[in-house]
């Protein structure tokens, strides 16, 4: 094999989805990564690694190209030894390892890097910094340090959101020409849930992705939005408030959560930005029952909704809503769990995230990008990246539409306290 790719956090749900995509890519001559994969070894790292048979069953077309490793990515010396020995072209980081530490290792070796979310172990382990503003603290620390890393090309936050949604926002803004929107809202309604009530336990927090990361946003953070390039916070629990959105016939009320793409888009453009999120009713009720003492929720059992354990109904609806003075335009993507499981053996949410990682990986490996560390909106605005083209190889069902009137900015959308 002429080259190598390292995937960290390979035993997790996003990696499972990405490997399922790569398993198809290596047999598809029209896939942008086909040639690269045919000359590539995949090195899979996790601190609690799966077996060889797990990967052989998941991605049989890659069986002879996989080498597994088990170690803690918090051990930078071991990770650096891995990079020295393997010399991968790219590290796809789907772990909870510290982003700056992983990125620094790749920078030292001149290796491409991509991840789906910003992680910072120092912030997470410091209760004074973590509680209320964990994302803001991670961003402040990352922004202060990333400038010293000039020997790599990297994409930070290339999942679905952050990631694909920034591309969606920029595509929508092209439609309306030079006029900057008054507001840009990332919206998500995730109705994924077990089909059979017999598979559901009453006091379990169910999410379609990491419950710990979800709770980080849902009960450990103040609701945040951006205005005039400045993060603004509401002094409430996210689940005390609801905000209404409409995308054509699709209407729902969701909670305001801090998110990376809210920050990056709000910095790029002088428009109000926010993320409005609605999750399954079961978990929503658990949170609202415990609003007086949300710390109790951490004591509950948590579970990712896994279609390999029991059938899932529902879908993940993710979109972008641009608000102008007298109208709104929108774009969204919907993936349903039954269809995605049949094709990719994963749930809808993880598939959407993996598509963003896939698009960013293609861009790093193919587009001859200039060195730099990019969020997806920066990648599209500052380089000749063909991110959208690569994305559409597996995610091509985007719906675009217009609301003939505007429901206003965030505070005009706020409903009564839940």
Contact of 49 with 91, CB cutoff 8 Å: no
Contact of 18 with 394, CB cutoff 8 Å: no
**Helix 76-86 to helix 99-109 angle, to the nearest 10 degrees?**
30
Cite the DSSP H helix spans in 49-183: 52-58, 76-86, 99-109, 121-124, 127-130, 134-145, 164-175
Domain 3-161+353-391 has CATH 3.40.50.720: yes
Q: Could you tell me which residues are beta bridge partners of residue 155? A: 114, 374
Quick one: 322 exposed, middle or buried, by C-beta within 10 A (0-12, 13-18, 19+)?
A: buried
Contact of 126 with 133, CB cutoff 8 Å: no
- CA dist 336 to 91, 307, 341, Å? 29, 12, 9
pTM: 0.97
Is 80 exceeded by the pLDDT of residue 129? no
- Looking at residue 416, its pLDDT comes to 65
Average pLDDT of span 117-129? 84
- Looking at residue 379, its pLDDT comes to 98
Q: What are the tens digits of pLDDT across the range 56-105? A: 999 999 999 999 999 999 999 999 999 999 999 999 999 999 999 999 99
Q: What are the tens digits of pLDDT across the range 281-305? A: 999 999 999 999 999 999 999 999 9
Is 80 exceeded by the pLDDT of residue 1? no
Rounded Cα distance, 238 and 255, in Å: 6
Is 80 exceeded by the pLDDT of residue 249? yes
Domain with CATH 3.40.50.720 in the chain: 3-161+353-391
Contact of 141 with 119, CB cutoff 8 Å: no
- Looking at residue 418, its pLDDT comes to 46
Contact of 374 with 154, CB cutoff 8 Å: yes
DSSP-derived secondary structure letter, 202: T
Contact of 33 with 361, CB cutoff 8 Å: yes
Question: What percent of the chain shows pLDDT beyond 70?
Answer: 98
Question: For domain 164-348+397-413, which architecture applies?
Answer: 2-Layer Sandwich (3.30)
Contacts of residue 361, Cβ cutoff 8 Å, sequence gap at least 6 = 33, 90, 92, 114
Q: What are the tens digits of pLDDT across the range 12-68? A: 999 999 999 999 999 999 999 999 999 999 999 999 999 999 999 999 999 999 999
Handedness of CA 399, 340, 14, 299 (dihedral sign): positive
Rounded Cα distance, 409 and 256, in Å: 13
Domain with CATH 3.30.360.30 in the chain: 164-348+397-413
């Amino acid at each position: 094999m002429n080259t190598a790719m390292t995937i960290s956090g390979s035993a997790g749900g996003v990696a499972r989805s990405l490997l399922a995509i790569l398993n198809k890519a290596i047999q598809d001559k029209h896939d942008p990564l086909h040639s690269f994969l045919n000359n590539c070894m995949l090195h899979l790292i996790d601190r609690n690694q799966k077996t060889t048979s797990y990967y052989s069953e998941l991605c049989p077309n890659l069986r002879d190209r996989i080498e597994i490793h088990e170690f803690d990515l918090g051990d930078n010396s071991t990770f650096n030894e891995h990079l020295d020995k393997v010399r991968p072209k790219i590290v796809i980081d789907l772990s909870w390892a510290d982003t700056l530490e992983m990125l620094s290792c790749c920078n030292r070796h001149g290796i491409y890097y991509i991840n789906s979310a910003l992680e910072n172990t120092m912030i997470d382990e410091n209760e004074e910094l973590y509680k209320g503003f964990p994302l803001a603290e991670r961003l402040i620390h990352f922004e202060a340090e990333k400038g010293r890393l000039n020997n790599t090309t990297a994409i930070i936050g290339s999942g679905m959101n952050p990631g694909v949604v920034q591309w969606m926002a920029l595509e929508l803004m092209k439609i309306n020409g030079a006029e900057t929107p008054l507001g840009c809202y990332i919206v998500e309604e995730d109705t994924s849930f077990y089909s059979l009530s017999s598979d559901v336990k009453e006091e379990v927090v169910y999410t379609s992705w990491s419950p710990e990361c979800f709770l980080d946003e849902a009960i450990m953070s103040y609701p945040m939005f951006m205005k005039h390039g400045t993060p603004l916070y509401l002094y409430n629990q996210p689940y005390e408030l609801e905000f209404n959105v409409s995308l054509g016939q699709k209407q729902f009320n969701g909670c305001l959560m801090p998110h990376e793409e809210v920050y990056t888009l709000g910095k790029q453009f002088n428009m109000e930005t926010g993320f409005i999120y609605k999750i399954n009713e079961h978990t929503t009720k658990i949170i609202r029952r415990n609003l007086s003492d949300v710390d109790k929720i951490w004591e509950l059992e948590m579970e990712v909704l896994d279609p390999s354990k029991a059938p899932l109904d529902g879908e993940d609806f993710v979109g972008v809503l641009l608000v102008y003075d007298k109208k709104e335009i929108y774009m969204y993507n919907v993936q349903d769990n039954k269809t995605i499981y049949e094709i990719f053996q994963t749930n809808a949410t993880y598939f959407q995230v993996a598509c963003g990682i896939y698009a960013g990986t293609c861009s790093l490996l193919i587009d001859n990008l200039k060195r730099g560390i990019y969020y997806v909106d920066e990648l599209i605005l500052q380089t000749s990246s063909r991110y959208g083209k690569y994305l559409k190889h597996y995610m091509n069902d985007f719906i675009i539409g217009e609301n003939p009137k505007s429901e206003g900015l965030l505070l005009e959308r706020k409903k009564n306290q839940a």
